Amino acid sequence: MQLIIIILVLSFLTACDAVNQSQNNKQYVKEQLANEAFRPAYHFTPNKNWMNDPNGMVYYQGEYHLFYQYNPYGSVWGPMHWGYAISSDMVEWQHQGVKLYPDQHGTIFSGSAVVDWKNSSGFGTKENPPLVAIYTYHNEEKAKQGLSDIQTQGLAYSIDKGRTWQKYKHNPVLKNSNIRDFRDPKVKWHPTTKQWVMVLAQDDHIGFYTSTNLKDWQFKSTFGAQWGSHGGVWECPDLIRVKIRGTDNYKYVLLVSINPGAPNGGSGTQYFIGDFDGTKFTLDENYQKMLAPTSAVFPQGVEFANFKNGLSKWQVEGNAFHIASDQQGKPILSSFNQSDEATGSALSEAFTIEHDYINFKILGGKHKNRTAIELLINGEVVKSTVGSNSNVMLETAWDVRSFKNKQGVIKVIDSKKGDWGHIKVADITFSDQAARPKIEPAIWLDYGTDNYAGVTFSDAPDNRHLFIGWMSNWQYANFVPTTTWRSAMTLPRELELIKTSQGLRFASQPVKELQKILASTQTKAVLEGKNNYQLDQVFNVAPGQFKLSFTLVNANQAIDIILSADSGEQTILSLNPLKGTLVLDRTKSGLIDFEADFASIQTSPLQKNLTDYHVDIWVDKASVEVFVNKGVSTMTSIVFPTQPYHKVSVKALQQFTLKDIQFNNVAITK
């Protein structure tokens, strides 16, 4: 009997050990994935910790200088510093550590850098012109107090090619005129007027400033309040004078990043084409037609809550909700009570649903189940809307036709502290017509979800317009499944202004310098007579780091390009010349459950009914970048496959032909 008991105990311990070993193995695999499995082979990343916007991009004496928003204390967004790297080719980078640290004026937000060739600032000499960085100070203490003048602009300079930096003793050089979002200066020399020009993001538009010495700035004009998308805050502008390909004519292109409000969710970059005279940007007439907005609609109905009589009919909990006034002096329900630290809820009296729609206006934080207005029926949430991280009131409608004659209540909640931890609601109305927000057409540089805050290098050689963006999205950037480090930059790209059937468009292609990292080219002149080509059976594929190019000829049907692994994980690119769409589907791409909206289907416009479509696809360990017709249509998306993609197929319903197929593995590792 004792022997049996001993055997049972040993069996139990062995089983427990096996379970523990299995759990440990799973944890080990999880940690390996989180730490390095998704580190790109050929994209720029920080060695460790958090990175976002590219900053201070300038070319000087054979070196590309790349600064970036950096938190040296962790792998999520935090107190911003400027990290720094240099390169001779934008491909291989040498990390140089942190160069700009927070000081008494605040943390160091985004900005730019220039070569002060004529030493207008007096920081160097004409023989040794200084590099001058222009950046935003962010005062978090003021932000917590609910103040608006939380951001100002400062200077730093270097006289040793960027290796060491000295801040200007009279910072800030541009103070705030009570605009909460007042940041991301991009500065360039304007040769016609012989002055420095700064483009600065100001809430939902751009401000233009001029200076002769980089220290003293004068406001000149604004642009954008009436043009483009305003679904979120405007950020990281860039103003570029670009030659139209094939002509001797030039146009100015104004890049503006926006968060949120991008076409496929979260953050993205729109652009405007026009002219600039040194003080004022004027939108091109054709773009004025394309970007003409459609007014918001807010139908009349039965007023349920206009808040003119306060909150006497609402049950209020916490210290957040109160009656405030909008910019026109109208009463609104607000949870911003001196700061974003206040929390609470407001519950309406019960009502019977007798109309088709419940309309209201809303602004505030985009935090699911935390800054929201909700419709409850029998205690269950049946409708919910959050803000958009924007100070713009959006007209919104709930379709409640399926709830007719039922009793409901409306609850407004704020359980979020910190940035955008508030919500504001106005004009809750019952109507038989739906409210609709203002429709604001925009043209986007990249229709994928993961190319944000990108700008160009100052003083780039040969008048090239060289661009790098942050390859992530504020919607999920803090939650992606890496822990040692977070975020990468896009491939460096060259921007060109070209004529298309829709008008002038900004095209982007990977820079020619990237050819150096490509292994020998595998080619196939033509593939025809089938409706499915398994390219990994034709070419040798290096898992998770390769480039594919081909031309689809006689394009009269849609094709799917499937990037996959033995695990079954896949990203699908669908090119449809008839509909004029390029679609990227990452719903089964790998790890997707770290954020509710990550598993998305993204759509880009595509020129319709062309004879041929040229496609370039760059795949790295955790990203897919697609360029169609030399970058007229572009999509960038991060993915997290647990096994690197090593299978490539191209499929259609009917037979189709590919020509000039080229396949290159990337001969570089990190």
E strand intervals along 61-177: 63-71, 81-87, 94-100, 107-115, 131-138, 151-158, 166-167
Q: What whole-number distance in Å separates Cα of residue 526 and Cα of residue 113?
A: 47
CB under 8 Å to 547, separation ≥6 — which residues? 518, 616, 617, 618, 619, 662, 663, 664, 666
Contacting residues for 275 by C-beta, under 8 A, at least 6 apart: 251, 252, 281, 282, 284
Respond yes or no: is residue 53 known to be catalytic. yes
Amino acid in the structure at residue 514: L
Closest CA to 562 of 582, 529, 534, 537: 534
H or E segment to which residue 361 belongs? strand 357-364
Sheet strand arrangement including 250-259: 233-243, 250-259, 268-276, 281-283
DSSP label of 447: -
Contact by Cβ (8 Å): 351, 302: no
Q: Burial level of 639, CB count in 10 A (0-12/13-18/19+)?
A: buried
Enumerate the β-bridge partners of residue 436: 297
From 53, 427, 450, 620, the catalytic residue: 53
Answer for the pair 666, 542: CB distance below 8 angstroms, yes or no.
yes
Using DSSP bridges, classify how beta strands 485-486 and 49-60 pair: parallel, antiparallel or unpaired: parallel
Strand partners, 209: 198, 219
- CA dist 42 and 91 (Å) reads 7
Residue owning tokens 């040993």: 10
Structure tokens at 575: 């090119």
Q: For the purposes of burial, counting CB atoms within 10 Å of the CB of 568, is it exposed (0-12), middle (13-18) or buried (19 or more)? A: exposed
Rounded to an integer, what distance in angstroms lies between the CA atom of residue 173 and that of residue 490? Answer: 32
Alpha carbons 318 and 311: distance in angstroms, whole number: 14
Round to the nearest angstrom and report the end-to-end CA distance of the chain. 60
The count of C-alpha atoms lying within 13 angstroms of the C-alpha of 288, restricted to the half-sphere facing its C-beta, is 8
Q: Tokens 């002149």 correspond to what residue?
A: 525
Q: Please check whether residue 553 is in contact with residue 658, taking contact to mean a CB–CB distance below 8 angstroms.
A: yes
In 3D space, the residue among 539, 550, 547, 536 whose CA is nearest the CA of residue 623 turns out to be 547
Q: Which residues are known to be catalytic?
A: 53
